[in-house]
């Protein structure tokens, strides 16, 4: 019967009642040693506490993700932009800069967003596959230098 179940004898122990007088054998300092911060009541200091000096987590600089030292920045121009703002013809990075399509003096990359029907002959630093495909399909040429 469930109401008659009890643990085996010797399998359970009484809780030690700390700090309940000298007769209990655990009175006085209640197994906490002699005085000091850790003998007092309350939560105490966490594992990150370093004795009052500035903790290592606050001494470290704040890194915001991975910064790739080999990253190349490009000025991007879409083929749809070329179609709407330029006439058919030959253009290089300097010519695109004169037309104010690129501004910062960075290498120029052509991207394939938009449609192109004019024949452009471009000499740029990089181009996407879709841009190459669109320009060649319109009868133009693309040279990546």
For 88-145, write each residue's pLDDT tens digit: 999 999 999 999 999 988 999 999 999 999 999 999 999 999 999 999 999 999 999 8
Rg of the chain over all Cα atoms, to the nearest angstrom? 38
In angstroms, what CA-CA distances link 48 with 6, 32, 39? Answer: 44, 22, 19
Domain ranges of the chain: 75-144
Q: Are 123 and 91 in contact (CB under 8 A)?
A: yes
CATH number of 75-144: 3.100.10.10
E-strand ranges in 1-139 read 75-78, 89-92, 108-111, 120-124, 126-127
Q: Do residues 125 and 104 make contact, with C-beta atoms less than 8 angstroms apart?
A: no
Span 76-92, average pLDDT? 95
Q: Per-residue pLDDT for 44 more than 90?
A: no
Taking the whole predicted model, whether its pTM rises above 0.85 is answered as: no
pLDDT of 38 reads: 86
Query: What is the residue-averaged pLDDT of the chain?
Result: 92
């Amino acid at each position: 019967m469930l109401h008659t179940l009890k643990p085996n004898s010797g399998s359970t122990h009484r809780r030690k009642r700390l700090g309940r007088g000298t007769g209990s054998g655990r009175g006085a300092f209640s197994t906490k040693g002699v005085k000091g911060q850790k003998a007092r009541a309350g939560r105490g200091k966490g594992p990150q506490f370093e004795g009052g000096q500035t903790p290592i987590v606050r001494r470290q600089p704040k890194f915001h993700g991975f910064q790739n030292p080999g990253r190349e920045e490009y000025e991007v121009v879409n083929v749809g932009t070329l179609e709407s703002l330029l006439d058919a013809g030959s253009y290089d990075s300097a010519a695109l800069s004169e037309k104010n399509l690129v501004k910062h003096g960075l290498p120029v990359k052509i991207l394939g967003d938009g449609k192109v029907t004019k024949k452009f002959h471009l000499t740029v630093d990089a181009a996407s596959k879709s841009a190459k495909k669109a320009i060649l399909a319109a009868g133009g040429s693309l040279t990546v230098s």
